């Protein structure tokens, strides 16, 4: 009886051996490297394209932050110098001369006002202040548009990157389920790599989007601060031409007295 049981167990083991061997061979061929690079290499072509696009978008956001930070620091320093000239100046001709060959926004404002004064023949009538205000508004708006170039890209990255990553995840999970159906197994070793590769796309989307949103808000605050400086310069110019318009009247009053 014992011999019969042993023979039966031996025969059962031999019958199950091919199945176990096939399963072991399948496990050997499954991807074992679940590091970020390994998941990228093993991902589908579409998921790879999504990951590469998100990496490039993140690089573009950081590049825009560096470039705009340097530019904003430079133009803000120029605006402060121009504002100092306006605060210390007494006449429009004096501040125009002190600007020299500068091409910053405040210098453009001063030249625009001087141009309007020249076209008006030196007569500051009731419409002169309105014409000057219109010129200053246009120069300020042009400077604001120029300094905001590139921030729209950062805002788009912050808004779109999570959805692009989600698309990569959906596509990767679809491929994972297709692989499960072809393998005819729900073994975790078969399911996990595909799902992990898919989720990596979402992670990259968030890695690209979160810094982009922070960068955009930071740049928006600095641009608003720069526009406030231009507004101060515009107000100083309006005060300057108002004082100039009042001086001849004051001299005439003293002469009559």
Give per-residue pLDDT as tens, 108-156: 998 988 888 888 776 666 778 888 889 999 999 999 999 999 999 999 9
Residues in Cβ contact with 93 at an 8 Å cutoff, skipping those fewer than 6 apart: 114
Determine the longest span between alpha carbons in the chain, in angstroms. Answer: 142
Predicted pLDDT of residue 196: 79
Tens digits of residue pLDDT in 199-253: 888 899 999 999 999 999 999 999 999 999 999 999 988 888 888 777 655 444 4
pLDDT at residue 16 in the model: 41
The pLDDT tens digits of the residues spanning 21-79 come to: 444 444 444 445 667 676 767 677 888 889 899 999 999 999 999 999 999 999 999 99
Kindly tell me if the per-residue pLDDT of 86 is higher than 90: no
Q: Are 227 and 144 in contact (CB under 8 A)?
A: yes
More confident residue, 182 or 134: 134
Residue 256, token pair as written in the block: 């009559």
Cβ(240)–Cβ(95) under 8 Å?
A: yes
pLDDT at residue 11, rounded to an integer: 39
| pTM assigned to the model | 0.76
Cα 226 from Cα 143, distance rounded (Å): 10
Interatomic CA distance for residues 178 and 194, integer angstroms: 10
Q: Calculate the alpha carbon distances from 188 to 28, 179, 194 in Å.
A: 14, 12, 10
CB contact set of 74 (below 8 Å; sequence gap of 6+):
none
**Phi and psi torsions of 121, nearest 5°:** 70, 25
- The full set of domain ranges for the chain reads 34-244
DSSP state, residue 195: H
Do residues 257 and 106 make contact, with C-beta atoms less than 8 angstroms apart?
Answer: no
Rounded Cα distance between 42 and 75, Å, is: 47
Rounded to whole angstroms, the Cα distance separating 191 from 230 reads: 59
């Amino acid at each position: 009886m014992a011999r019969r049981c042993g023979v039966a167990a031996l025969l059962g083991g031999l019958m199950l051996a091919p199945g176990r061997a096939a399963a072991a061979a399948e496990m050997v061929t499954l991807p074992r490297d679940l590091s970020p690079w390994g998941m990228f290499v093993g991902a589908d072509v579409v998921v790879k394209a999504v990951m590469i696009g998100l990496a490039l978008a993140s690089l573009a956001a950081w590049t825009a932050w560096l470039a705009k930070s340097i530019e904003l620091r430079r133009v803000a320093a120029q605006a402060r110098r121009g504002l100092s000239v306006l605060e210390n100046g007494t006449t429009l001709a004096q501040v125009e001369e002190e600007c020299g060959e500068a091409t910053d926004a405040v210098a453009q404002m001063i030249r625009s006002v001087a141009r309007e004064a020249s076209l008006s023949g030196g007569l500051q009538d009731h419409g002169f202040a309105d014409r000057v205000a219109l010129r200053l508004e246009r120069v300020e708006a042009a400077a604001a548009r120029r300094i905001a170039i590139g921030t729209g890209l950062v805002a788009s990255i912050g808004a779109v990157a999570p959805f692009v990553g989600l698309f990569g995840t959906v596509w990767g999970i679809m491929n994972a389920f297709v692989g499960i159906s072809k393998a005819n197994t729900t073994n975790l070793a078969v399911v996990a790599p595909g799902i992990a590769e898919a989720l990596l796309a979402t992670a990259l989307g968030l890695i690209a989007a979160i810094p982009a949103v922070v960068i955009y808000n930071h740049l928006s605050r600095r641009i608003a601060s720069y526009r406030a400086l231009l507004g101060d310069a515009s107000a100083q110019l309006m005060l300057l031409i108002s004082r100039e318009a009042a001086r001849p009247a004051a001299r005439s009053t003293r002469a009559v007295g």
